Amino acid sequence: MEVMSIPSVKANGATIPLLGLGTWDLRGRTCTRIVEHALRIGYRHIDTAEMYDNEREVGEGLRASGIKRSDVFVTTKIWPDHFAPRELERAARESLSRLRLSEVDLLLLHWPNPRIPLADTLGALGQVKREGLTRHIGVSNFTVALIEQAVALTTEPLVCDQIEYHPFLDQSKVIAACRKHDMAVVAYSPIARGKAGDDRMLARIAAAHDKTAAQVSLRFLVQQSIVVIPRTSKAERLAENAAIFDFKLSPQEMTEIAALARRDGRIIDWSYSGRPNWD
Ligand SMILES: NC(=O)c1ccc[n+]([C@@H]2O[C@H](COP(=O)([O-])OP(=O)(O)OC[C@H]3O[C@@H](n4cnc5c(N)ncnc54)[C@H](OP(=O)(O)O)[C@@H]3O)[C@@H](O)[C@H]2O)c1
C-alpha cells in the first residue's frame, strides 16, 4: 500500500502534521478500525478528547496499526469541568490510562471555563507538561481576548488554538492572534460537517482541479498553513480527505472561497458551554 507523506507546521517548538484525523462521535469498533486504517494509509495525527468517550478505542487503533508510537502525533483535551488544578492532573492521567500511553503529544483545554481562574488552570496544564504527561500544551475555542490572556499567564508555551474553521466562517482575527504568538491554528469541522461537500461553488472549483468539494475546503485551509482534522466514519473517505497536498488553488480561487464566509456561518453552538460574551 502506498503511504503518503504529509507536511507539518512548526509552532512554539512543536511540529504538527497539517492533516489529522478527527474522531468526535466515532465509537467502538468503527473508531478503532478507522484510526487503524488512517494510520496505515499515512495519517500521522489523531485528535480525540476525554469528552468523546473513545480514547480507549483510539489507543487500540494506534496499536493495531503497527505504526511506531513516536511517529504519531496524538492530541487529547481536558473537559472544562476538570479545570481546577488537582482535577486537571487527574483527568490528564485518566486520559493517558484510557489511551494506554505514557504521554500525549498535545493536551488542550477543550473550552474556556469562566468559573475557574485561567491562571490556575494554565498553571496546572504547565505542571502536567513538566511532569511528562504531554509534550506540548494548547487551547481550544479561545477568542482573541482569551488568547492574549492565556499567553500572558501561561508558564509553558501554548502551541495552538483549535477552533471551528471552514470556508463558511471568517476566523481572520483569531488566526492573526495565533500567528502573533507563534501558535498553530487547528481547524475543527474543516468540511463544515459535510456541508462543504454540497456547496456548488466549491464543486465548480473542485471540478477544475479534478478534486471533490470537500478536498477544496480542506485545501483552502492547509494552503494557509492551517492544520485540518476532518472526521469520517467511512474508510474510503480517509484517502479522499488526505489527497489535498498534490494541487494548488490560485490566489483568485482562494479569494472566491473566502467570500463564502457568513456571519451566521458557525456550526458549533457555543452557548452549550455556558460561554458568556467573551469579546
Ligand atoms: N475542539 C472542539 O471543540 C471541537 C469541536 C468539534 C469538532 N472537533 C474535532 O474536529 C473533528 C472534525 O470536525 P467535525 O467532526 O465536527 O466535522 P467535519 O470533519 O467537518 O465533518 C465530518 C462530517 O463530514 C462527513 N465527511 C467526511 N469526509 C467527507 C467527504 N470527503 N465528503 C463529504 N462528506 C464528508 C462525515 O460523514 P461520514 O462519516 O459519513 O464520512 C461527517 O458527517 C472532530 O471529529 C473532532 O475531532 C473539535
pLDDT tens-digit readout, 239-266: 999 999 999 999 999 999 999 999 999 9
pLDDT digits (tens, 9 = 90+) for 103-156: 999 999 999 999 999 999 999 999 999 999 999 999 999 999 999 999 999 999
Distance 20 CA to ligand 1 centre (A): 11
Is 257 in contact with 216 (CB distance < 8 Å)? yes
> Which of the 8 DSSP states describes residue 273?
G
Of 220, 250, 246, 189, nearest in space to 42 by CA:
246
Question: Please, are residues 34 and 241 in contact by the beta-carbon 8 Å criterion?
Answer: no
Q: Is the pLDDT of residue 279 over 50?
A: no
Which of 171, 232, 266, when mutated, tests ligand 1's pocket best, judged by the most ligand atoms within 8 Å of its CB? 232
21 CA distance to ligand 1 centroid (A)?
9
Amino acid 261: pLDDT: 97
Ligand 1, atom 22: nearest CA belongs to which residue?
Answer: 193
Which cell numbers hold the place of 252?
Answer: 483568485
Nearest-10 crossing angle of helices 85-99, 118-130: 40
52 belongs to the catalytic site: yes
| Position 273 confidence tier, pLDDT thresholds 50, 70, 90 | low
Q: How far is the CA of 29 from the centre of ligand 1 (A)?
A: 18
Q: Which residues have a Cβ under 8 Å from the Cβ of 68 and sit 6 or more positions away?
A: none
Strand 14-17 with 8-11, pairing: antiparallel
Mean pLDDT of 188-200: 97
> How far apart are the two ends of the chain, measured CA to CA in Å?
49
Q: Which of 52, 165, 188, 272 is catalytic?
A: 52
Strands 184-188 and 227-228: parallel
162-187 pLDDT, tens digit each: 999 999 999 999 999 999 999 999 99
